[in-house]
Amino acid sequence: MARAKRRPDGRYGANVTIGKNQRKYVCANSPKELEEKILQLKLKLGKGIDIGTEHDTFDDWGQRWLAKKKHKVSEEWYTALAINYRKLTQIHGMPVSKLRAIDLEEVLDDLAEQHYSARVIKAVRDIAMGVMQMCVDNRVIEYNPFAAAETPKADPKKKNNRRALTDEEQRWIRETPHRAQLSAMIMMYAGLRRGELLALQWTDIDLEACTITISRTVKFDNSDHPVIKSGGKTDNATRVVYIPQRLVNFLKQQPRTSLYVVSTVKGRLMSASAWRSLWDTYIKDLNIKYGNFGNIIGKDGKPMVHPKSKIRPGGVPIVIPRFTAHWLRHTYISLLYMSGVDVLTAAKQAGHSDIKTTMEIYTHLDASHVKKNIDKLDEYLEECMQSVCKNINNTAV
């Protein structure tokens, strides 16, 4: 291993040879973490991955992909490609080496929520796949992570990948301390979109009036860095959200260490990659604490033993749902429905530009609610039948 040196800031660093007359500086919080990073670096080198491109963004390669297409397709087709490529703005600034399937799924979920057709959603997915495959072909990354991305159904009447969290999953969020818990609680009990959450300031929250005022949002245009824009995703997104007492009580206990409610450890606006990193650690920690590993067979052919909570989850399979901001927002709307809030009020609270969006969710939830009650009827009738059979048997004896 390369010799590790402790830096003035307390971290550890070392230079690693990556080629002839080429070295790369690697740093970490501990000698063990540094050793692991160097090992991963050498594994990538052994597979022929170009280490020098690890910070290349999706847009860096997206522009190259578009440039190649320009000379291979008609002008009309190229224009359509460029238009649909811009729908991937959310991931333009992210390093391709850090992108995961869930990043593309969030973009596609946004398009489905805005009622884009299945054809457009597929076209956007194909573009993202093409860009990442170019990265694979040029040894920038080892594999195409978007190959595992699921495409949501464009028809809102059909089931899509988003759903409300179950009562048990909601309990996980309420009872598990984590840096991302504050974000999850606000999204679940106030229905904020990710961009609205990241732009939220403590002065926007009035705990006496039990309200949150939404007047700005964060966008990630052509870089990983956040840009605050006035207003919201739609005209209706600028709104006052009335929040439940449960969220009020939770917010009263939170320290106000920066201007922004959700920020980096230094109190700054969160970049797209910083948010993704925070959320990944949250899902992994919830996974270790609540995941059911009994059905997972380990390398030794035996059921996997539940990981210890203090062990970092590298290599541990994710066995809980990878819920996102969309799921939490869907949960919020479901809670409004279950508590009897009318659809017009729910649409205003959620900031939907078209009440049809809220109606579709309410209609779906209504059908689910009816089905659940009918299931209870089946259970009751079955219990009655068993009781009758038991009485007959006792009488016969």
Tens digit of pLDDT per residue, the chain (397 long)?
Answer: 456 677 777 777 777 666 666 666 667 777 777 777 666 666 666 655 555 566 789 998 899 999 999 888 888 888 889 999 999 988 998 888 889 998 999 899 888 877 778 888 999 999 999 999 988 888 788 889 999 888 886 554 444 456 889 999 999 999 999 999 999 999 999 999 999 999 999 999 999 999 999 999 998 755 567 889 887 666 678 999 999 999 999 999 999 999 999 999 999 999 888 898 899 899 999 999 998 887 776 666 677 777 766 555 556 788 898 888 889 999 999 999 989 999 999 999 999 888 888 888 888 777 766 666 666 666 667 777 777 666 666 665 5
Residue 157's pLDDT is 46
CA of 240: how far to CAs of 190, 237, 322, 348, 357, in Å? 10, 9, 29, 9, 19
CA of 233: how far to CAs of 106, 195, 271, in Å? 15, 8, 18
Residue 150's pLDDT is 86
Residue ranges of alpha helices (H) inside 29-100 are: 31-46, 58-70, 75-85, 89-92
Residue 85's pLDDT is 93
Cβ contacts of 52 within 8 Å, gap of 6 or more:
18
Query: 247-250 long-range CB contacts below 8 Å, 24 or more apart?
Result: 247/185, 247/186, 247/189, 247/190, 248/207, 248/210, 250/185
CA distance 390 to 376: 21
Global pTM value: 0.61
CA distance 172 to 219: 29
Q: Which two tokens stand for residue 65?
A: 């992909």
